[in-house]
Amino acid sequence: MVQIPTTDGPADAFVAHPEDGGRHPGVLMYADAFGIRPTIREMARELAGHGYYVLVPNFFHRQGPTPVVDLPEHIGEADRAALVEQVMPLIKDLTRERFQGDAEAYLDFLGAQPEVGAGPVAVTGYCIGGLLATRTAAARPEQVAALAAFHAPVAADGPESLRPLTAETHFGHAETDLGPQDLEALNRSLDAVGIAYTSEIYPGTVHGFTMSDTDAFDPAGLQHHWDRLLPLLARTLANG
C-alpha cells in the first residue's frame, strides 16, 4: 500500500509490479464500487505479472482508508442490495469536479514512480471504476494511450464526454447492462470520436462478471476480459 497526495488529503492505494528492478509501463486500475479487496489485489498482481506497474487507488479515500465498507468474503445476491445501499452515497459524493483532481493526482503519482518507464500509460476499470477510467482518459489524452472498461456505465456522462478521447479503447459490456440498440448508439458515438476501439457485449454475462468473489462471476467472461486487455496494452504501451 502507498499514499497518493491529493487536494483532499492522502489517498491510499495498492501497488503491484515486477520485482526485477526494471522500469515498466504504468497502468492505473480502478476497482468496482466495492473497492480494494483480495479479488482486486489478485487481478492487479496478475496484470503486473505480464510486465506492468499497476496502481489501484481507493477512490473513496475521503471517507477513510480501504476497506471503506465492510465486505463478506463472498458477495452473494443476498448481500448485494445492502452493500449497494452503503456505497451509493459514496458514489454520489464523488462528484466529477472532485474526481478530476483525484485523477490528475493518480496519474502524476504513477508517472513519478522510479519503477515506471517513460511514455504513455493505460487506464482500466470495473463497474463504476470503468466510468472513472473513461473520465481519466478523457482528462489526460496526451498521457493515456489505452483505455479499457468492463461492465461499466461508460456512457453515463453522455456522448460529448467521449469526444476528448484519443486512447485506443475497449469496452466489454455485460449482457444485462447493455442491449443491442444501446450498444449501437454507444458505438456510433465512438465512431464520431474517430478513435481505434472495440466495444462488445460479452455473451452470457451479468453485471460484475469479472469479480470472482461475487455471484456474478463468469470464468469465461473473465478470460475474455484478459484476452482483450492484454493485447491492447501490448499494442499501446512501450515494452508491453
Active-site residue (options: 207, 213, 224, 225) = 207
Question: What percent helix, strand, coil does the chain show, rounded to 5?
Answer: 40, 20, 40
12 annotated active-site = no
Query: Can you say how many angstroms the Cα of residue 76 is from the centroid of all Cα atoms in its chain?
Result: 22
Alpha-carbon gap, residue 145 to 185, rounded angstroms: 24
**Residue 177 annotated among the catalytic residues of the structure:** yes
Report how far Cα 154 is from the mean position of its chain's Cα atoms: 11
3-state secondary structure of 58: coil
Whether 96 contacts 138, CB under 8 Å? no
Exactly one of 127, 170, 173, 218 is catalytic; name it: 127
Start-to-end CA span in the chain (Å): 24
Q: Which CA distances in Å does 175 have to 156, 207, 210, 229?
A: 17, 8, 13, 19
Q: Are 169 and 187 in contact, with CB atoms under 8 Å apart?
A: no
| CA atoms within 13 Å, Cβ hemisphere of 21 | 0
Q: Assess whether 74 carries a catalytic annotation.
A: no
- Name 11's Cβ contacts closer than 8 Å, sequence gap at least 6: 3, 4, 57, 58, 59, 61, 102, 105, 106
Active site residues: 127, 177, 207
